[in-house]
């Protein structure tokens, strides 16, 4: 191979002259005179033509090139309106790097088949596009928090406490101990650290034994969480709003081609960037559901998916729903001073039927209230001593939230199912490959 390799994207930008590229055969077809190969790399695809006149002695090798063969190709690139990406490579030299057996994935395979062959399906243009957007989202979260002066901080994955409800815990075989679980959230181990660092965040896997089949629950998902000292409830909501705007902005700046490949109408994301989010209390939400949709929900019941979907259908930006009834929310949320029946918890509901993408709250500072709430939930406060110490030694107002990274990717990419927002989805039924 003659010169240095460049990416397909760079070759197309160059648009003329000699280039050397390498990648995998995305499509191939041929006659006994010409072979057409669509080569793909991580950046794009390009049509390449091999003319038998130039490869007569090696034609049987050319003829045997199959889908997903890895190759190096050199030749002359030129504009060609008929080619899929507008350019064509007239190949002068080729080298097969890795042969490919009959690739099992071609057109119209079932969802199940693609899930069984996820390790191969990752190479598809759809998955590649999602993975690029996913990478942007992770970088945007890091960038946002670092830019706001937060420290990255890490909590344990093996935990001996539960935070978000026992029914969703995965217990672990931990040297015959009975009370070790995989983390559902970092929170109980994050709050102690604000006394050292004040503003902290993480992006880490969380594990929840979700038994229901929905399009927005995984058993293993990536959780971006933050905790901040001295903050009031409104400031926590503001952080969430700014974070989501930053993520959407970064994806629109970097990934329009990928959004288009996913057939995502990205213009629907613009209001999220340009307009303030809608803020309403749970009680106001019930009234809207009644007035607009004749949905009669008893005060005190949590909002279900169907109700969240109806609510967000009225807006083109996320809705921040606040002040939920105490009994539907976790034990650590601050009781409202004016109405002790509600707590300073907030859920961010994404538009286009996506539902909750962030759950957050201000944290209760009153030790006795926390203990009472733990007991009400059937917990033994003695198990939480290390956590309760956060309220004993110089407690300060604070709060935080957790963002489900795959939920955000599902919304931003316009995916039907959260399983397509992660390379190897884990659900109750699916843990292989
Ligand atoms: P839901 O009511 O949808 O089950 P939750 O109230 O259990 O959500 P939180 O405990 O507040 O969620 O977790 C914080 C965030 O983590 C959620 O806003 C959501 O974005 C994400 N999340 C929660 N459970 C899952 C899951 N099983 N799979 C993917 N993301 C999740
Ligand atoms: Mg849940």
CATH number, position 381: 3.30.930.10
pLDDT at 42: 97
If asked whether residues 289 and 414 sit together in one domain, one would say: yes
If asked whether residues 189 and 336 sit together in one domain, one would say: yes
Q: Look up the domain containing 304 and give its range.
A: 118-421
pLDDT at 140: 98
**What is the tens place of the pLDDT at every residue in 56-65?**
999 999 999 9
Distance of CA 365 to the CA centre of its chain: 32
Residue with CA closest to ligand 1 atom 30: 404
pLDDT at 3: 64
Distance CA 287, CA 305 (A): 17
If asked whether residues 202 and 248 sit together in one domain, one would say: yes
Using the mean position of ligand 1's atoms as its centre, give its distance from the Cα of residue 183 in Å. Answer: 13
Determine, yes or no, domain membership for 147: yes
Q: Return the ligand 1 atom nearest residue 402 CA.
A: 14
If asked whether residues 132 and 77 sit together in one domain, one would say: no
Q: Return the ligand 1 atom nearest residue 302 CA.
A: 2
If asked whether residues 192 and 66 sit together in one domain, one would say: no
**Domain CATH for 33:** 2.40.50.140
- Contact between 153 and 189 under an 8 Å Cβ cutoff? The reply is no
If asked whether residues 58 and 134 sit together in one domain, one would say: no
Using the mean position of ligand 2's atoms as its centre, give its distance from the Cα of residue 352 in Å. Answer: 20
Measured torsion, CA atoms of residues 151, 156, 159, 163, in degrees rounded to the nearest 10: 20
- Contact between 247 and 137 under an 8 Å Cβ cutoff? The reply is yes
For helices 282-293 and 305-312, the axis angle rounded to 10 degrees is 80
Residue with CA closest to ligand 1 atom 10: 164
Read off the pTM: 0.95
Question: How would DSSP label each residue in 102-126?
Answer: --S--SS--HHHHHHTHHHHTTSHH
pLDDT at 323: 98
Using the mean position of ligand 2's atoms as its centre, give its distance from the Cα of residue 293 in Å. Answer: 25
Determine, yes or no, domain membership for 105: no
Determine, yes or no, domain membership for 108: no
If asked whether residues 89 and 127 sit together in one domain, one would say: no
Q: Return the ligand 1 atom nearest residue 348 CA.
A: 18
If asked whether residues 315 and 398 sit together in one domain, one would say: yes
If asked whether residues 302 and 358 sit together in one domain, one would say: yes
Determine, yes or no, domain membership for 2: no
Determine, yes or no, domain membership for 431: no
If asked whether residues 321 and 257 sit together in one domain, one would say: yes
Report the domain count for the chain.
2
Question: Which of the 8 DSSP states describes residue 169?
Answer: P
Residue with CA closest to ligand 1 atom 26: 217
pLDDT at 167: 75
pLDDT at 213: 85
Using the mean position of ligand 1's atoms as its centre, give its distance from the Cα of residue 260 in Å. Answer: 28
Residue with CA closest to ligand 1 atom 16: 404
Domain end (from 36, 67, 98): 98
If asked whether residues 66 and 174 sit together in one domain, one would say: no
Using the mean position of ligand 2's atoms as its centre, give its distance from the Cα of residue 423 in Å. Answer: 21
Q: Return the ligand 1 atom nearest residue 356 CA.
A: 18
Determine, yes or no, domain membership for 380: yes
357 φ/ψ angles, rounded to the nearest 5 degrees: -120, -20
**What is the tens place of the pLDDT at every residue in 158-172?**
998 766 666 789 999
Nearest ligand, measured from the Cα of 221: 1
pLDDT at 258: 98
pLDDT at 350: 97
- The SS3 assignment for 14 reads helix
E strands, 296-420, in order:
319-325, 342-350, 355-362, 398-404
pLDDT at 165: 61
Determine, yes or no, domain membership for 222: yes
Using the mean position of ligand 2's atoms as its centre, give its distance from the Cα of residue 85 in Å. Answer: 43
Using the mean position of ligand 2's atoms as its centre, give its distance from the Cα of residue 87 in Å. Answer: 49
Residues with CB under 6 A from ligand 1: 164, 208, 210, 217-218, 221, 223, 356-359, 402-404, 406-407
If asked whether residues 59 and 193 sit together in one domain, one would say: no
Distance CA 79, CA 47 (A): 11
Determine, yes or no, domain membership for 253: yes
Query: Which of the residues in the chain have pLDDT under 50?
Result: none
Domain end (from 98, 126, 152): 98
């Amino acid at each position: 191979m003659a010169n240095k390799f460049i990416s397909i994207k760079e070759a197309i930008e160059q648009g003329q002259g000699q280039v050397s590229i390498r990648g995998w055969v995305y499509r191939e077809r041929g006659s006994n005179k010409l072979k057409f190969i669509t080569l793909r790399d991580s950046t794009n695809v390009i049509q390449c033509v091999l003319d038998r006149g130039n490869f007569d002695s090696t034609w049987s090798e050319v003829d045997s090139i199959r889908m997903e063969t890895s190759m190096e190709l050199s030749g002359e690139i030129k504009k060609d309106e008929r080619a899929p990406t507008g350019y064509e490579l007239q190949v002068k030299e080729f080298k097969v790097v890795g042969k490919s057996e009959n690739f099992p994935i071609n057109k119209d395979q079932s969802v199940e088949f693609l899930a069984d062959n996820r390790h191969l399906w990752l190479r598809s243009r759809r998955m590649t596009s999602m993975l690029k957007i996913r990478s942007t989202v992770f970088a945007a979260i890091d960038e946002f928090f670092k830019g706001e002066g937060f420290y990255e901080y890490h909590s344990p994955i093996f935990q001996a406490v539960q935070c978000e409800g026992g029914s969703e815990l995965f217990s672990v075989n931990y040297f015959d101990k009975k009370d070790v679980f995989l983390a559902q959230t970092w929170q109980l181990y994050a709050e102690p650290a604000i006394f050292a660092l004040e503003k902290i965040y993480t992006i880490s896997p969380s594990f929840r034994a979700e038994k229901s089949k929905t399009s927005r629950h995984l058993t293993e998902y990536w959780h971006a969480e933050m905790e901040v000292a001295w903050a009031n409830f409104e400031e926590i909501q503001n952080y969430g709003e700014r974070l989501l705007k930053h993520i959407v902005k970064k994806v629109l700046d970097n990934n329009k081609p990928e959004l288009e490949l996913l057939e995502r109408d990205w213009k629907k994301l613009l209001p999220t960037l340009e307009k303030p989010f809608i803020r309403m209390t749970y009680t106001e939400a019930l009234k809207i559901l009644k007035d607009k949709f004749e949905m009669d929900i008893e005060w005190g019941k949590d909002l279900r998916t169907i109700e969240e979907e109806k609510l967000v259908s009225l807006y083109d930006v996320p809705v921040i729903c606040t002040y939920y009834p105490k009994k539907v929310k976790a034990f650590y949320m601050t009781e409202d001073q004016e109405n002790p029946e509600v707590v300073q918890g907030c859920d961010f509901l994404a538009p286009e039927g996506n539902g909750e993408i962030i759950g957050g709250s201000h944290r209760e500072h009153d030790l006795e209230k926390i203990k009472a709430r733990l007991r009400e939930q059937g917990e033994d406060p003695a198990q939480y001593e290390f956590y309760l110490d956060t309220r004993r030694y110089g407690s300060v107002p604070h709060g935080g939230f957790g963002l489900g990274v795959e939920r955000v990717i599902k919304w931003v990419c316009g995916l039907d199912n959260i399983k397509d927002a992660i390379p190897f989805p884990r659900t109750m039924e699916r843990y292989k490959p």
